[in-house]
Structure 1
Amino acid sequence: MAEVLSCQTLDQFKQNLEDGNSKKLTVINFTATWCAPCRFMAPILSEFANKYEDVLFFKVDVDELKTIAEDYKVHSLPTFVFLKDGKEVNRFVGANKETLLKLVTKHSGRSLPEADPAPST
């Protein structure tokens, strides 16, 4: 069962980035404890981490790691940065599950999950 890795130190961030610096898609969630939309997205990110075990998800608290947020030019929260081969391939800002799902599936090379069929009456 995969999980969202939390980065609380610069060394931890670098190690997680190094671990994800492969063909594997890495999604960095820039967040803060005081950010309500970030709290809304937290269980969604956990759900995706369990569903997409071939994708590395981790979160960075901008108050704990200001320099990382500055390096990635994060100005609004939540910000999601998508990396592949160590390079940024996409990003988006906001608490939108559908957008996150589309970008994860697009950059991981997987197709969108099929919608559940409507129950027959």
Structure 2
Amino acid sequence: MIDLHTVEEFNQAIDSDKPTVVVWSANWCPDCVYLNPLLPAIEAANPDFQFVHMDRDENLDLAIEQEILGIPSLLTFQNGKETGRFVSKLRKTPEEIQEFLNKVKEKL
């Protein structure tokens, strides 16, 4: 997973032809901390996607622009357009994330 730090890096990542999963999180968020060790396996199981990470606190203006109201949030993009959004007030499981990614793949 690639850590992004600027709006420019974000825009470059989401403009890719390859579907991109943007994982929004923060280091103080318990559900984000829970999800972190699960992400490498999810990424390995989904080679059709590029995975990137944005720290919500480091990029608060962009998070507001992207309507990131809760974390962790997973947004998918391709060629600069949002193709999916997985936001839930409950802790996300690997199975739920995989189901989300499968639905996004079906639409591509």
Structure 2 length-normalised TM: 0.83
Matched, 1:27 2:24: no
Q: Alignment identity in percent?
A: 26
> How far, CA to CA, are the matches of 2:54 and 2:102 in structure 1?
22
Matched, 1:5 2:23: no
Matched, 1:16 2:13: yes
Structure 2: gaps of 5 or more residues:
none
Report if aligned partners of 2:23, 2:53 keep a CA contact under 8 Å in 1.
yes
Cα deviation for residue 34 of structure 1 reads 0.2
For the residue of structure 2 that corresponds to 1:98, the secondary structure is helix
Greater gyration radius? 1
Q: Which has the higher contact order (CA 8 A, sep 6+)?
A: 2
Match of 2:105 among 103, 108, 119: 108
1:84 matched residue in structure 2: 78
Cα deviation for residue 15 of structure 1 reads 2.4
What RMSD, in angstroms, separates the aligned Cα atoms of the two structures?
A: 1.6
